C-alpha cells in the first residue's frame, strides 16, 4: 500500500521508530522540557513571535477549528467565512452551532477566489475572518496576501486553518498578521492523527481569549496556555504523538521548513506537468502544493477503487457532489518521484481500460 492521501500520509522511518517505543509518564520535568521545545520549534516553523500563545490539543483538526472559534468569538461578533468547499463549510457549521453571527464568501466549485470578490465585503462590520488557507476538498490555495491586506484594512482578527497548507505552502504568522493559526499532526508533519495545535497572537489572546468565557472545559484555551508556561497540558496529552512531533521538528531543524516547502512544491510541479502531458485535466484555480486535484468525471470513484484494489495505490477520493468528478493526489509525507511514476502508469492503464 502506498498513500497519496492528505492525512494520514506515509510516515517517515524515524517517526515510526519513535512511535514504537514505550511511553514515558508525562508529569515530569523531562516531558515539560520536550513540550517547551515543541512549542518553540513549531512557532519557529510558522514565523510566530515569542509573544504568541500556543495550545496543544489532543483532538483532530476539526476540534481545533471549533475550539478556536469558541474561545475567540461570541454572539456579539460578526464573522466572514470563506467557503469554497467542505472545510470552509465546516467553519460555517461551527459558527451556526455556537450561535455566532456570520456571513459567507461562497465559491462554488470550480470558482477561483479573487481579491476583488473579497473587496465586495468591505465595510460590513465584520470582526473576524475564518479561512482554510488551502481548501483541501478542492485543492484550491487562497491568496493569503490579499486576505491579510483585507483584514488589516478592515480591522479584523484573522483565523487561518493551515492544517493542509502547513509544510506545503508559504505562510508567515507575523508577516501576514495572523491572529489564530491551526495545524494538525496527520498532514505534512506525517504523524499519527490526534494532535492539533493552535497558535494565537498576543492581541487575540489578550483581547478575546482572556475576556470570553467559552462554554467549554476541555477546550478552554486559558487553561492550556497557563499550563504550557511550565511545559504541561491541563489533561493527558497525546504523549506518543508529541514525542514524534519533537523528533520531526528537530530533524526539520532551523532551515528545514524552507527545504520541506521546496521539496513539496517540486514534487507537485513535476507531477502536474507529467499528468498534463498524459492528458489529465486539472482545475484552473490556484493550487496548493499539498495535493493535485484531477478532473475525472464521471470515473473518479471507479479509478480510485481500481488504484487501491488492483495496484495498492491510495489516492484521496472526493465526497458529495464531486464524488465522481474529482480525485486528489497528495504530495505530503514520505513520498518520492518514483512513487508518482508508478501512479501515473497505473492511471494510464486504468483509463485505457475504461475508455475502451
Ligand atoms: C484535514 C483538515 C482538517 C482536519 O480534519 P480532521 O478530520 O478533523 O482532522 C481541517 N481543515 C483542513 C483544511 C484539513 O485539510
| Cα separation, 65 vs 180, whole angstroms | 10
Indicate the pairing of strand 79-83 with strand 102-106.
Answer: parallel
| Cα separation, 138 vs 147, whole angstroms | 19
Average pLDDT for 265-291: 98
196-206 pLDDT, tens digit per residue, is 999 999 999 99
> How many angstroms separate the alpha carbon of residue 193 from the centre of ligand 1?
10
Residues with CB under 6 A from ligand 1: 7, 60-62, 87, 132, 136, 161, 163-164, 184
CA-nearest residue, atom 6 of ligand 1: 61
Residue 355, pLDDT > 90, answer no
Confidence of residue 255 (pLDDT cuts 50, 70, 90): low
The answer to whether the CB of 235 falls within 8 A of the CB of 57 is no
Confidence of residue 36 (pLDDT cuts 50, 70, 90): very high
Average pLDDT for 315-328: 96
Quote the pLDDT of residue 254. 61
- The pTM of the full predicted model, rounded to 2 decimals, is 0.98
| Cα separation, 25 vs 245, whole angstroms | 17
CA-nearest residue, atom 5 of ligand 1: 61
CA-nearest residue, atom 15 of ligand 1: 164
> How many angstroms separate the alpha carbon of residue 164 from the centre of ligand 1?
7
Amino acid at each position: 500500500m502506498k498513500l497519496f492521501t492528505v492525512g494520514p500520509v506515509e510516515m517517515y522511518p524515524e517517526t515510526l521508530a519513535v512511535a514504537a517505543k514505550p511511553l514515558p509518564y508525562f508529569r515530569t520535568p523531562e516531558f515539560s522540557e520536550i513540550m517547551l521545545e515543541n512549542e518553540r520549534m513549531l512557532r519557529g516553523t510558522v514565523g510566530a513571535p515569542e509573544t504568541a500563545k500556543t495550545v496543544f490539543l489532543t483532538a483532530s483538526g476539526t476540534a481545533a477549528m471549533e475550539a478556536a472559534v469558541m474561545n475567540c468569538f461570541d454572539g456579539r461578533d460578526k464573522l466572514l467565512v470563506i467557503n469554497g468547499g467542505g472545510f470552509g463549510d465546516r467553519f460555517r457549521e461551527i459558527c451556526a452551532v455556537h450561535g455566532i453571527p456570520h456571513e459567507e464568501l461562497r465559491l462554488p466549485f470550480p470558482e477561483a477566489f479573487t481579491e476583488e470578490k473579497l473587496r465586495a465585503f468591505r465595510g460590513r462590520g465584520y470582526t473576524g475572518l475564518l479561512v482554510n488557507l488551502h481548501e483541501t476538498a478542492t485543492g484550491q490555495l487562497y491568496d493569503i496576501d490579499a486576505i491579510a491586506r483585507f483584514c488589516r484594512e478592515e480591522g479584523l482578527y484573522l483565523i487561518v486553518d493551515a492544517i493542509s497548507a502547513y509544510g506545503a505552502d508559504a505562510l508567515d504568522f507575523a508577516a501576514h498578521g495572523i491572529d489564530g493559526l491551526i495545524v494538525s499532526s496527520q498532514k505534512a508533519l506525517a504523524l499519527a492523527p490526534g494532535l492539533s495545535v493552535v497558535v494565537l497572537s498576543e492581541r487575540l489572546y489578550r483581547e478575546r481569549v482572556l475576556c470570553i468565557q467559552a462554554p467549554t472545559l476541555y477546550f478552554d484555551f486559558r487553561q492550556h496556555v497557563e499550563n504550557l508556561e511550565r511545559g504541561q497540558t491541563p489533561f493527558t496529552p497525546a504523549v506518543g504523538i508529541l514525542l514524534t512531533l519533537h523528533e520531526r521538528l528537530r530533524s526539520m531543524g532551523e532551515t528545514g521548513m524552507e527545504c520541506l516547502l521546496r521539496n513539496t512544491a517540486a514534487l507537485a510541479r513535476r507531477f502536474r506537468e507529467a499528468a498534463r502531458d498524459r492528458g489529465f485535466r486539472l482545475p484552473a484555480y490556484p493550487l496548493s502544493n499539498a495535493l493535485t486535484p484531477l478532473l475525472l468525471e464521471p470515473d473518479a470513484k471507479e479509478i480510485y477503487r481500481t488504484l487501491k484494489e488492483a495496484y495498492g495505490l491510495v489516492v484521496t477520493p472526493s465526497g458529495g457532489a464531486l464524488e465522481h468528478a474529482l480525485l486528489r493526489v497528495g504530495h505530503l509525507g514520505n513520498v518520492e518521484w518514483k512513487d508518482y511514476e508508478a501512479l501515473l502508469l497505473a492511471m494510464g492503464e486504468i483509463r485505457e481500460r475504461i475508455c475502451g
